[in-house]
């Protein structure tokens, strides 16, 4: 009688992961976790509500983006995120063009600005839904008009809330960054995101080890 052979090892298939954002910055950050994921653009009105605080706006939009895409992908784990900059209680969005970026940086020079970065994780099939916000305090130097103009011409950060990319040349505009998560300012707080993914049943390291986060 021939000895029975051991069953072939079949690695577990991770849960489908979807990023509800077309932001290149968030895509790059999520890719650091080395998990396969799809990108779906959420159809969400990002206008603030009357009297809504920047902190509340960031959380509401992160959740709205995740919910919009989760409705299309009910069997996936969906990540939504949003960032709103706050100066004197007023939200500051993406400048969109050079003139607005100049105005933003002039308003922020020598000041402390809080960037509220919220992340929501949804898993429709288990009714898991959670949202967390990571505030980052950014202290800008007393920038001259020449410094502002030089930076903007070199970097053109018109798609960034607050008109500065801290991960590149924008770091030269700052005196300090104060945060519990170094990736939050770029657009997706990976410490919090990883924690929420684990709660949703998608453990990054367990997936890489071949024994966790299976569908």
State the catalytic residues.
82
* Angle of CA points 152, 93, 168, to nearest 5°: 40
Q: How many angstroms separate the CA atoms of 176 and 140, rounded? A: 7
Buried b (16+ CB within 10 A) or exposed e, 11-46: eeebbebbbbbebebbeebbeebebebeebebebee
Torsion, Cα of 19, 120, 30, 177 (10° steps) = 140
Q: Residue 58 class from Cβ within 10 Å (0-12 exposed, 13-18 middle, 19+ buried)? A: buried
Q: How does DSSP assign 4-52, residue by residue?
A: PPPPPP-PPPBPPEEE----HHHHHHHHTT----EE-------PPPTT-
Question: Residues 68, 31: contact at Cβ < 8 Å?
Answer: no
Q: How many angstroms separate the CA atoms of 24 and 95, rounded? A: 17
């Amino acid at each position: 009688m021939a000895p029975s052979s051991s069953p072939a090892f079949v690695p577990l298939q991770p849960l489908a992961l979807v990023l509800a954002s077309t932001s290149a910055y968030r895509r790059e950050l999520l890719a650091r976790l080395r998990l396969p994921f799809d990108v779906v653009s959420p159809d969400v009105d990002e206008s603030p509500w009357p009297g809504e605080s920047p902190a509340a706006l960031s959380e509401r939009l992160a959740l709205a983006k995740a919910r919009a895409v989760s409705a299309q992908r009910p069997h996936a784990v969906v990540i939504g995120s949003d960032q709103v900059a706050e100066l004197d209680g007023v939200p500051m969005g993406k400048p969109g063009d050079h003139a607005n970026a100049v105005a933003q940086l002039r308003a922020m020079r020598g000041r402390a600005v809080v960037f509220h970065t919220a992340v929501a994780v949804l898993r429709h099939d288990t009714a898991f839904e959670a949202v967390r916000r990571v505030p980052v305090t950014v202290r800008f130097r007393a920038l001259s008009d020449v410094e502002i103009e030089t930076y903007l011409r070199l970097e053109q950060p018109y798609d960034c809330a607050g008109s500065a990319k801290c991960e590149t040349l924008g770091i030269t505009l700052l005196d300090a960054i104060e945060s519990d998560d170094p990736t939050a300012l770029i657009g997706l707080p990976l410490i919090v995101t990883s924690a929420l993914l684990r709660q949703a049943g998608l453990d990054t390291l367990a997936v890489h080890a071949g024994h966790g986060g299976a569908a």
